[in-house]
Amino acid sequence: MSKMNFSNSPGKIVPIPEHEALREELEKLRTELSMLVLERDELLFVECKNIEMAYMLSVGGLEYKAYEIECAVLRLKRKAEMIQAKKNRQEKVILSEIETALDKEFADYRAKLDEKIRKMNDALERSKGQILTDEENAELKKLYRAIVKELHPDLHPDLSEAKKRLFQSAVDAYEFGDLEGLRIIAGMVGGPVTQEENKDMTGQLIKEKERLTKLIQTVNKRIASIKSEYPYILKPLVEDPDKIEEKKAELQAYTQELKEVLAAYTSKIAEMLR
C-alpha cells in the first residue's frame, strides 16, 4: 500500500513527515557543505594567493637569484665532468656539442626558473589589484555562498550546462574579487525548486543524504590538505617581519656561497680547456 497521503482537495499532495525530516537534514547538510566550499575557495583563491604574493614580494627575488646561480653551478659541474670524460677517452672537446647536451639535461631547471618568474609576475599583478573594504569583502563572501548553495554542481548533480557555466563565472568573479559580477550572478539565481512526492522519494532522499555526507568529508580533507601544503605553510613566515628578515639573510648568505662555487668551477673549466 502506498505511503502517499492526500487531502480532500483533488490533486493536492500532503508531504509525508518522514520526507520532511529527511529534507530538513538535507538542508542542514547543504548549508554545511556550502560553508565548507566557501572556506575551501577562500583558502584557494584568496588566502593562499595573498600568502604567495606576500612571500614573492618580500623574498621571491632573492630566492629566484639563489636558484638561478644554483642551476648555473650544477650546469658548470656537469660541464666539467663531460669535458673530463672527453679527455679521458682522448676525444676532441667540441664545446658547442657539450652546450647542446647540457641544454637538454637542464631543460627542467630552466622550466622551474621560468615558473618562478611567472609567480613573481602574478604576485606583482595581484599587488596592483583593487583591494576590497571589509564590508565589500563580507558581501563578496555572502553572495558567493548563496550562489554556491544554488549552483554548485556537487549540490545539484542535474544542473544544466548553462548553469554550470554560470557557476564557473561566479568562481572566476570570486577569485578576482569582482563584486559587481557576483552581484549580477546572485540576482540571476532563483530559489530552490520544490520536489513532488512519489513512491521512491524516501530512497532518493536517503541516497542524497549519503552523497552529501561523503562530499562534506571530501571537502574537509581538501581543506586540511591545503593547510598542509605550499603556499599556506608560508603563512607564519609572511606574518612575522623578523622571520622575513631571517629568510632574507639566509638567502643572501647562500647566494654568496654559490657565487664562490660558481667562480671556482669557471676557473676549473678554463684550466681544463687550456
Q: Can you give the pLDDT at residue 187?
A: 85
Q: What's the CA gap between 78 and 103, in Å, rounded?
A: 11
Cβ–Cβ < 8 Å for 209, 25: yes
Note whether residue 195 is domain-resident.
no
pLDDT of residue 3: 46
pLDDT top residue among 215 and 253: 253
The boundaries of the domain holding residue 165 are 47-189+203-272
> Does residue 12 register a pLDDT over 90?
no
pLDDT tens for 18-77 read 778 888 888 899 889 999 999 999 999 999 999 999 999 999 999 999 999 999 999 999
pTM: 0.78
* Domain annotation covers residue 19: no
Q: In angstroms, what CA-CA distances link 174 with 88, 102, 133, 134, 178?
A: 62, 44, 15, 15, 6
Residue 17 has pLDDT above 70, yes or no: no
Examine residue 257 and state whether it is found in any structural domain, yes or no.
yes
Write down the mean pLDDT value for the chain: 89
CA distance 13 to 127: 57
Contact 261, 73 (CB under 8 A): yes
Sign of CA dihedral 72, 74, 79, 80: positive
* Position 246 in a domain: yes
Q: Does any domain span residue 179? A: yes
Residue 219 included in any domain: yes
Q: Do the domain assignments include residue 31? A: no
Residue 232 lies in a domain: yes
Total count of domains within the chain: 1
